Amino acid sequence: MMKHYILNLNPSAKHEWDRFILREPLTAKRPDMAKLIAEAVAADTGSYLVSVNIEVTVLDRAAVPTAEQLSLPIAEVNLSSAQLREAA
């Protein structure tokens, strides 16, 4: 069974659970590994000793977006209190 996921790594995240996030690319849902393994077993009710091999291949890497600060020229506006009341 071949599955593809998006892995987000953020070692400086505030919460432990936000440091490593694995998501499905189309739905952005977090995969339920136990359910995936159960689907692969596809057997009757019971307990199973299973071996799971995880092979990871990086297909693409997205650059971390940098925050740019843009300066927008803001014209000085002088409004009287009467104009402010009209605008409200």
How far is the C-alpha of 64 from the C-alpha of 68, rounded, in Å?
Answer: 12
How many whole angstroms separate alpha carbon 9 and alpha carbon 58? 13
Tokens 């843009």 label which residue?
A: 70
Q: Which residue has the higher pLDDT, 71 or 18?
A: 18
- How far apart CA 56 and CA 53 sit, in angstroms, is 10
Residue 39 CB partners (closer than 8 Å, separation 6+): 1
The residue with greater pLDDT, 77 or 65, is 65
* pLDDT per position as a tens digit, 10-51: 888 899 888 999 999 999 999 999 998 888 888 788 899 999
End-to-end CA gap in the chain? 61
**Is-above-0.75 flag for pTM?**
no
> Which one-letter amino acid corresponds to residue 29?
K
Q: Residue 28's pLDDT is what?
A: 92
Which range in 40-49, 57-66, 76-85 is most confidently predicted, on average pLDDT? Answer: 40-49
- Per domain, the residue ranges of the chain are 1-61
The predicted pLDDT at position 76 comes to 62
